[in-house]
Amino acid sequence: MKKYKAYAKVNIFLKITGKRENYHEILSRFMRVDRLYDELSFVSKEESDAKVNAFKIIGDFSCSTEQNTIYKAYQALKKATNSEALEKLMQTYAVKVEKHIPAFAGLGGGSSDAATYLKMCNEVLHLDLSLNELAGIGLEVGADVPFFIYGYESANVSGIGEVVEAVEEEALAFDVFTPKLEISTPRVYKAYRENFYNPIDGFEAQRLKALSSREILETMSATEANDLFEPALQEYKELKNHYRQGYFFSGSGSSFFRVKEKNNG
We report the CATH number of the domain holding residue 12 as 3.30.230.10
To the question of pTM greater than 0.85 for the whole model, the response is: yes
Query: Which of 166, 187, 214 represents a domain boundary (last residue)?
Result: 166
* The predicted structure's pLDDT at residue 50: 57
Q: Are residues 33 and 105 in the same domain?
A: yes
Q: Are residues 133 and 13 in the same domain?
A: yes
The CA distance from 74 to 162, in Å, is: 19
pLDDT, tens digit (0-9, with 9 covering 90-100), for 88-116: 999 999 999 999 999 889 999 999 999 99
Q: Are residues 158 and 179 in the same domain?
A: no
What three-state secondary structure class fits 131?
helix
**Secondary structure element (H or E) that encloses residue 40, with its range:** strand 23-44
Query: Which of 166, 188, 218 represents a domain boundary (last residue)?
Result: 166
- Percent of all residues in the chain with a pLDDT value above 90, rounded to a whole number: 85
As for how many domains the chain has, the answer is 2
Give percent helix, percent strand, percent coil of the chain, each to the nearest 5: 40, 25, 35
Find the domain containing 178 and state its range. 174-264
Among the listed residues 9, 15, 45, 56, the single catalytic one is 9
Among the listed residues 56, 113, 119, 144, the single catalytic one is 144
Whole-number average pLDDT of the chain: 93
Half-sphere exposure of 238 (CA within 13 A, CB side): 6
Q: Are residues 210 and 253 in the same domain?
A: yes
The CA distance from 201 to 207, in Å, is: 10
Q: Are residues 65 and 128 in the same domain?
A: yes
CB 170, CB 212: distance < 8 Å: yes
Query: Which of 106, 137, 166 represents a domain boundary (last residue)?
Result: 166
Question: Apex CA 111: angle with CA 113 and CA 68, to 5°?
Answer: 70
* The predicted structure's pLDDT at residue 265: 47
- Tens place of pLDDT per residue across the chain (265 aa): 799 999 999 999 999 999 888 888 999 999 999 999 999 999 998 765 655 668 999 998 888 889 999 999 999 999 999 999 999 999 999 999 999 999 889 999 999 999 999 999 999 999 999 999 999 999 999 999 999 999 999 999 999 889 999 999 999 999 999 999 989 999 999 999 999 999 999 999 999 999 999 999 999 999 999 999 999 999 999 999 999 999 999 999 899 999 987 654 4
pLDDT, tens digit (0-9, with 9 covering 90-100), for 139-166: 999 999 999 999 999 999 999 889 999 9
> Which CATH number do you get for residue 227?
3.30.70.890
Question: Apex CA 85: angle with CA 77 and CA 94, to 5°?
Answer: 75
Annotated catalytic residue 9: yes
Q: Are residues 57 and 179 in the same domain?
A: no
Annotated catalytic residue 144: yes
